[in-house]
Amino acid sequence: MKEYSGYDTKVNGLLIDDLRRSKGGNTLFVSHYFFALNDGKDLIFYYNPMHFWDKMPIEKVDNTVWENLEKECAVFINFNPDSEPKSKATDNKTSHPAFFPETPRIGNHYSCLGSRIVSHHQHYYFLGNYGGCLKLKTKDLTDYDLGNLLHWAVMTKTPNYIKSIFDLKCFKKPMTSNSNTIIGAVIGDVIGSVFEWNNIKSTNFDIFNPKCDYTDDTVLTIAVADCILNKKDFAKTIWVYGRKYRGRGYGGSFRNWLQEDNLKPYGSFGNGSAMRASAVGFAFNDIETVLEVAKQSAEVTHNHPEGIKGAQATAAAIFLARHGKSKQEIKDYITETFKYNLNFTLDEIRPNYKFDVTCQGSVPQAIVAFLESSDFESAIRLAISIGGDSDTIACITGGIASAYYKQIPQKIIDFVVDKLPSEYIEIMNKFDEQYDRK
């Protein structure tokens, strides 16, 4: 769907014009950073009243979108912008210190004759001429408030880095399964994301850091899962995902690979092959197939023996864990098959362990983090606690821990799923339906 960043009469009118056109049968949803109008034919999105964003036919809108809009937004039925408001301007408003913040990360500023409205973090702030300020939850907006928003001049719009309406929370689909497969790796990536360049040498940290976000580990984990689910080509699919989800922390060689069309491997032994391999360990029922498919998923980029070995070791550990093997059995198999030295403790290496993006310098450490853990959360905490490439180490550990413990706290799942595009959630749901064999 095309994105528009300004008013375009050839595409769509102002929100107030569309409300007038459809006043006999419309529903308007107002969040703290977008408007959505159901005019009976289309669901139309606006950055703010003067900036049309996108639209889609009603018949193509999933029920989950309507449910999320009802939950997230103030809702107005058959709103006529030219009628007298029925509600009082001060309903449900509370006093708040006057302020004029910088343009919000997500939000808008509105102004008229010195008075201002700022939408920010699920609230609207009404600032008067003389320094007063009233705060109102978005869900509590009245028709009087909406009239002000529609008629006042717009100063700024939602930043353009929200490239698609499908990145909006209302399009987020719920996890329909009690997932215990690849979401373990995704959780490790998301929670570890804030520590990759800000290492912490402790297990005592907030795993619900609001700055957490998914990185390249998640993008490529989902890409490999998509390949397995839909029998797609590894090289082409990984290339497509990497180009679609740019700026997620890819390594330099991989970024260069994304600029090419010939899709030839580049001999890497980086841990990128291991971080994306968890789906392989969950999808197949014999170790020979796991090792072969892990090799195939790795060698499209990481065709160095160590790169392939890292992917195979990760997938094999997951395969063994989900088949009920003990930690000692998993350790013995990895040691004997891949010649990784796992005879160390995290306490021994933590003081001097440094950033190492090679398979041989991070996969053994991730496996030991799992071996020392007592449950899923402790595995993630231990993986991050050694420092280094925190999100990738935790991603590898998380996949194994998910397969072994088969239980992930729902609060952690909910926190991470809220960070993900709907496309990823849909793939995880389908993957779980097919391969979650608890």
Lowest mean pLDDT among 149-153, 175-179, 259-263: 175-179
Do 139 and 49 lie in one domain? The reply is yes
pLDDT at 6: 41
Do 231 and 154 lie in one domain? The reply is no
Q: Which of 169, 192, 214 is the last residue of a domain?
A: 169
What CA–CA distance (Å, rounded) separates 419 from 193? 12
The candidate with the shortest Cα–Cα distance to 156, out of 121, 111, 193, 195, is 111
Stretch 422-433: mean pLDDT, rounded? 91
pLDDT tens-digit profile of 49-77?
Answer: 888 888 899 999 989 899 999 999 999 99
pLDDT at 180: 80
Do 128 and 248 lie in one domain? The reply is no
90 labelled binding-site residue: no
Decide if 95 is inside a domain. Answer: yes
Do 378 and 325 lie in one domain? The reply is yes
Decide if 9 is inside a domain. Answer: no
Among 8-22, 197-211, 368-382, the range of highest mean pLDDT: 368-382
Decide if 161 is inside a domain. Answer: yes
Do 185 and 292 lie in one domain? The reply is yes
Contacts 24+ apart (CB under 8 A), 295-301: 296/234, 297/224, 297/227, 297/234, 297/273, 298/273, 299/265, 300/234, 300/235, 300/238, 300/263, 300/265, 301/235, 301/238, 301/253, 301/254, 301/257, 301/265, 301/266, 301/268, 301/272, 301/273
Among 177-186, 208-217, 417-426, the range of highest mean pLDDT: 208-217
Contact between residue 62 and residue 14 where contact means Cβ atoms under 8 Å apart: no
Do 66 and 201 lie in one domain? The reply is no
189 labelled binding-site residue: no
Decide if 383 is inside a domain. Answer: yes
Tell me how many domains the chain contains: 2
Do 199 and 60 lie in one domain? The reply is no
* CATH number for 329: 1.10.4080.10
Decide if 290 is inside a domain. Answer: yes
pTM: 0.77
Do 79 and 202 lie in one domain? The reply is no
215 labelled binding-site residue: yes
Decide if 2 is inside a domain. Answer: no
Give the pair of three-digit tokens for residue 236. Answer: 């082409």
Do 109 and 229 lie in one domain? The reply is no
Do 177 and 259 lie in one domain? The reply is yes
Decide if 278 is inside a domain. Answer: yes
Residue 202 has pLDDT above 70, yes or no: yes
Contact between residue 55 and residue 42 where contact means Cβ atoms under 8 Å apart: yes
Do 261 and 374 lie in one domain? The reply is yes
226 labelled binding-site residue: no
Confidence of residue 158 (pLDDT cuts 50, 70, 90): low
The candidate with the shortest Cα–Cα distance to 377, out of 416, 337, 428, 340, is 416
pLDDT at 437: 64
Decide if 3 is inside a domain. Answer: no
- Each residue of 188-216: b (16+ CB within 10 Å) or e? bbbbbbbbbeebeeebeeebeeeebbbbb
Stretch 278-291: mean pLDDT, rounded? 97
Do 209 and 246 lie in one domain? The reply is yes
289 labelled binding-site residue: no
Query: Which domain covers residue 95, as residue numbers?
Result: 15-169
Residue 2 has pLDDT above 50, yes or no: no
Q: Which of 169, 204, 225 is the last residue of a domain?
A: 169
Give the mean pLDDT of the chain. Answer: 89
Q: Which of 140, 169, 198 is the last residue of a domain?
A: 169
pLDDT at 421: 86
Query: Three-state SS string across the chain, please?
Result: CCCCCCCECCCECCHHHHHHHCCCCCEEEECCCCEEEECCCEEEEEEECCEEEEEEEHHHCCHHHHHHHHHHCEEEECCCCCCCCCCCCCCCCEECCCCCCCCCCCEEEEEECCEEEEEECCEEEEECCCCCEEEEEHHHCCHHHHHHHHHCEECCCCCCCCCCHHHCHHHCCCCCCCCCCCHHHHHHHHHHHHHCCCCCCCCCCCCCCCCCCCCHHHHHHHHHHHHHHHCCCHHHHHHHHHHHCCCCCCCHHHHHHHCCCCCCCCCCCECHHHHCCHHHHHHCCCHHHHHHHHHHHHHCCCCCHHHHHHHHHHHHHHHHHHCCCCHHHHHHHHHHHHCCCCCCCHHHHCCCCCCCCECCCCHHHHHHHHHHCCCHHHHHHHHHHCCCCHHHHHHHHHHHHHHHHCCCCHHHHHHHHCCCCHHHHHHHHHHHHHHCCC
Residue 7 has pLDDT above 50, yes or no: no
Of the chain, the percentage scoring pLDDT greater than 90 comes to 64
pLDDT tens-digit profile of 115-131?
Answer: 788 887 788 888 876 66
